[in-house]
Amino acid sequence: MVSLLHIALIIVLALAVIPVAVLLVQALAALKQTRVMAIATHWRPSVAVLVPAHNEAQGIAATIASIREQLRDGDRILVVADNCSDDTVAVALAAGAPVLERSNLEQRGKGYALDYGVRHLAHSPPEVVIMIDADCRLLEGAVDRLACLAMTAQRPVQGLDLMQARKNSHLKMRIAEFAWIVKNHVRPLGFLRLGLPCQLMGTGMAFPWSLIEKAGLANGNLAEDMQLGIEMARKNAAPIFCPDACVISYFPVGEEAARLQRTRWEHGHMSMILHDGLPLLIQGLRRSDRMLIALALDMCVPPVALLTLLTFALFIVAAAAYFMFAWIAPLILAACSLSGLMLAVLLAWRRFGRYVLSLKDLFSTVTYVFWKLPLYLKFFVSRQVEWVRAKRDAD
């Protein structure tokens, strides 16, 4: 019985090392100094920018303005006002964007809105469709870079999607910003430099029309972006990361709004790990498809806070097993996992996060990790399965 427990603990710890190893490889690869791929933008394909919006009257005008200033002759912008009960339609029209209204309370979520917009564009399709959330701002040159790379590669392209804490935000928000940098900048950049794909992130995404017109967008999945990226990869069109095309948005200041937003994102990601991670990995191995394998391994890296909790917990279990039964192998595996996680976070902070957190603040992330414990416990007790919009600051 004891030997079976010993073997079981070793297997669990060996599996737990995998996401830490993936994160460490990504962090190390992101530090590589490689030649940046030049994207020719003197000519680019025609573009339609699709903006799904649900009650976004407070901020959509600024989003439309940041998009319109990057459009060229023949380009379009289309706002899909999805089940809106505020002034989103009037504000978007006043800002100069055509609006397509959708009302269906049974089918809610961004996936349905995007599908509605794509089907409308099919009457006069562009060469490339770019999707931008209604609370985002595009930095200069983003549309050109996304469109040109998508058309050249004939693959989906994911821009750098950053969420920032507002000025003078409390420490938890700045830690959340750093965690976002690790997830959306460090990790995909590492895979890019290894010649591997990235996950789609929901905004700042570009698709050649031939790919997006056939995509299964109409769903209420909380991680509809990740699901779409996997669908594309299965069709030999895995997404490419484009760090030079940046979109930014801001964390909501209100505690309740921030909690709802985190719950939606992280429960969606965790559901994808449980339901799609292993099947995708098996499919990739059977096809000898390194793109699918890479996406499966990347998907199975949980949010950094959850990974930290699990790694610490397993280290404590392994340490207890060592003192009780003198089992050294589990303790070595747990120590390697914990050390690898700490090294990955430190490398990411030193290169990409020092402008967000001081070193002292970085060590305070331990309290942040335990503060998020109820969110993860809720996943097993009362998992969020339906899309719920987080309130914006001005709501």
Q: What is the pLDDT of residues 20-56, one digit of tens each?
A: 999 999 999 999 876 555 566 678 999 999 999 999 9
pLDDT at 371: 73
Q: How far is CA 321 from CA 43, 341, 354, in A?
A: 63, 21, 37
d(CA 138, CA 65): 9
d(CA 250, CA 165): 6
The H or E element spanning position 269 is helix 255-272
- Residues 311 and 337 sit within 8 Å (Cβ to Cβ): yes
Query: Which residue in 20, 97, 51, 61 sits closest to 342, CA to CA?
Result: 20
- Residues 245 and 162 sit within 8 Å (Cβ to Cβ): no
d(CA 383, CA 372): 15
pLDDT at 366: 79
Helical packing angle, 255-272 and 373-381, nearest 10°? 60
Q: Mean pLDDT in the chain?
A: 89
What distance, in Å, lies between the first and last C-alpha atoms of the chain?
Answer: 58
Reported as a pLDDT band with limits 50, 70 and 90, residue 273 is confident
* Residue bearing the bigger pLDDT, 306 or 332: 332
Calculate ∠ Cα 116-119-125, nearest 5°.
135
The β-bridge relationship of strands 240-250 and 76-82 is unpaired
Q: Please state, for a pLDDT cut of 90, what percent of the chain lies above it.
A: 70
Is the pLDDT at 258 greater than 60? The verdict is no
- Residues 58 and 139 sit within 8 Å (Cβ to Cβ): no
CATH number of 47-277: 3.90.550.10
- Tokens 């942040």, residue? 368
Please state the domain extents for the chain. 47-277
DSSP-derived secondary structure for 153-167: HTS-EEEEEEEEPPT
d(CA 355, CA 96): 36
pTM of the full predicted structure?
A: 0.90
Q: Give the sign of the dihedral formed by CA 177, CA 182, CA 185, CA 186.
A: positive
Cα 327 from chain centroid? 39
Query: Which residues is 205 bridged to in the sheet?
Result: 131, 158
* Residue bearing the bigger pLDDT, 253 or 361: 361
Q: Give the sign of the dihedral formed by CA 183, CA 186, CA 190, CA 192.
A: positive
- Tokens 């079981």, residue? 8
Calculate ∠ Cα 217-126-199, nearest 5°.
40
